[in-house]
Amino acid sequence: MKSTVASYGTIAGAGIVLVVATALISGVSTFVNSYAVAGTNSDAFVTMRNVAVAFLVVPLFLLGTSRARASLRRQDWARLVAIGLIGGAIPFLLFFRGLELATAAHGAATASFLYRTLFLMATVIGVLFLKERFHWRIALAAGLLLGGSYLMLSLVSPVWTDGSLYVLAATALWAVEYSISKRTLRDLPSGTVALGRMGFGAVFLVAYLGLTSQFGAVVAMTPGQWIWVGISAVLLTAFVATWYAGLARVDLGVATSVLVLGFPVTFLLSALVQGAKFTLPETIGAAVVVAGVAIAIGRSLFRDTWSFLRATVSPRTAA
């Protein structure tokens, strides 16, 4: 019994390490994408970037057991196609289009805040449909994460723009996809789920470009834009590799709460590059976000994470 508990703790600890890595990658990726997509056709950029990621994720799939790859049932294929459509295709188009519209209407801050509500949507779905346990600390963490994000953004008018609805819809779709993926990860390896999301997603995106006659935008991309596609693709590959491996080990609500850590990372990178300083509200907001993530993780998972790290760094000592 004791060994079983220790094994579960090691798995959960590894999951926290993975989703924290995902959050850091997300923060860097968000910053990079603000430059990468500038001056390009966002639909073409997203499609080519995701196609590249689909190929880069193939090794993760091959690392899965041959038995798991060979025994995919019809319902598994259906879930992977759904994950690709509502996680790897539609929300990417909506999000980048929404961000463009919101930025043009000076409502980028509101759009960014709406995206930060993903953890709230995912937590509700996790409790209602995945039967994850709800704890008071989750409610407290939610309040801190929303409040901290608000302080960091310093929201100003306009509160709502045309792009806001696109971003909110994309956020909701990702929350639903993560819940489907969490359930699917009980049966399939994380590499299979990651390839399902990016592979089927890429197929849907290429079909969309064809239906909307946008292949010309791909041909018109400059060498410099292709370099940005490559950089963004590497970051997204790292994101899906760590995210689905971590999500398989950690509750959906906790995992998506940890993702909010990417927000302060993006803010810090922006401040360093632009030579700006954090205002007092932004500094307090970042601290509140970190506190909210810590509360969402909880003492028990912190202990498991520390045990995992100690065992990883010095397995002989941990034993």
Return the pLDDT at 153.
Answer: 79
Name which of 74-83, 153-162, 236-245 the model is least confident about: 153-162
Return the pLDDT at 6.
Answer: 45
Task: List helix spans (H) across 154-200.
Answer: 162-184, 190-195
Examine the pLDDT at 67 and tell me if it is beyond 60. Answer: no
196-205: pLDDT as tens digits:
999 999 999 9
Contact 115, 152 (CB under 8 A): no
Return the pLDDT at 246.
Answer: 96
What is the percent of the chain where pLDDT is above 90? 59
Return the pLDDT at 77.
Answer: 95
Q: Whole-number mean pLDDT of the chain?
A: 88
**Residue 26 class from Cβ within 10 Å (0-12 exposed, 13-18 middle, 19+ buried)?**
buried
Residue 11 phi/psi, 5-degree rounding, is -65, -45
Over residues 281-290, the mean pLDDT reads: 91
CB neighbour list of residue 34: distance below 8 Å, 6 or more residues apart: none
Residue 73 phi/psi, 5-degree rounding, is -90, 170
Distance of CA 229 to the CA centre of its chain: 18
Classify residue 197 by its DSSP letter. Answer: I
Examine the pLDDT at 130 and tell me if it is beyond 80. Answer: yes
Half-sphere exposure of 254 toward its Cβ, with a 13 Å CA cutoff?
A: 29
* CA 219/CA 67 separation, integer angstroms: 41
3-48: pLDDT as tens digits:
444 454 578 889 999 999 999 999 999 889 888 888 889 999 999 9
Name which of 3-12, 119-128, 226-235, 298-307 the model is least confident about: 3-12
Which amino acid does the sequence have at 60?
A: L
CA distances from 51 to 47, 177, 198, 227 (A): 6, 19, 7, 14
The structure's pTM equals: 0.90
Which amino acid does the sequence have at 311?
A: A
